[in-house]
């Protein structure tokens, strides 16, 4: 199966087999310095371009970095992030500069907006269709954790603090 053009390989390993999926922002990359761009009440007033363009200045979240680096080569490591395609070069450079182990990077494709939960669910389904046996997914958005678990996947919540003031009343099951 050919992969979508918004999926980027890091070394040519094919997708498939035992797979672990990591979110990027809030799990490996510390985007706390960018959160002010999203402080507006209305969605249309949020500065998404400013938020995404500032990703080059993200410090590493050391526990996440150590965890992804400790994953056995028996596993395919996929970074599934809701960052937009326009940040591809910056994101790839950041991952390389910080020596973040991964086999695939999946960013939103051109004009793939909408809620993170819906978009990530679609990408996970495509990964599975490509032969990925997703054994674990890590994310910092409680809504994504619920979606992952509702999809029958093992999911680990990583608290970033980004969603504390945007509580949608999400309860973990």
**Which residue ranges form the domains of the chain, and what is each CATH number?**
7-29+60-159 (3.40.50.1000)
- What is the rounded distance in angstroms from the CA atom of residue 111 to the CA atom of residue 114? 9
Helix (H) / strand (E) element for 82: namely strand 76-84
pLDDT of residue 153: 97
Full pLDDT tens readout for the chain, 173 residues: 578 888 999 988 999 999 999 999 999 999 889 888 888 888 778 888 888 888 888 999 999 999 999 999 999 999 999 888 889 999 999 999 999 999 999 998 776 777 889 999 999 999 999 999 999 999 999 999 999 999 999 999 998 877 776 555 555 55
Cβ neighbours for 90, distance < 8 A, ≥ 6 positions apart: 53, 55, 56
- What is the rounded distance in angstroms from the CA atom of residue 134 to the CA atom of residue 149? 12
pLDDT of residue 124: 97
């Amino acid at each position: 199966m050919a992969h979508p053009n918004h999926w980027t390989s890091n070394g040519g390993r094919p997708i498939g087999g035992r797979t672990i999926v990591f979110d990027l922002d809030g799990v490996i990359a510390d985007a706390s310095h960018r959160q002010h761009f999203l402080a507006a009440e209305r969605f249309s007033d949020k500065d998404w371009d400013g938020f995404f363009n500032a990703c080059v200045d993200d410090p590493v979240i050391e526990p996440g970095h150590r965890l992804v680096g400790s994953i056995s080569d028996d596993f395919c490591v996929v970074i599934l992030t809701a960052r937009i395609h326009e940040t591809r070069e910056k994101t790839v450079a950041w991952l390389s500069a910080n020596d973040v182990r991964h086999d695939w990077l999946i960013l939103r494709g051109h004009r793939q907006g909408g809620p993170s939960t819906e978009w990530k669910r679609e990408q996970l389904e495509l990964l599975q269709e490509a032969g990925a046996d997703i054994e674990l997914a890590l994310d910092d958005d409680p809504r994504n954790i619920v979606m992952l678990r509702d999809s029958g996947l093992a999911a680990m919540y990583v608290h970033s603090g980004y969603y504390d003031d945007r509580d949608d009343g999400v309860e973990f099951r």
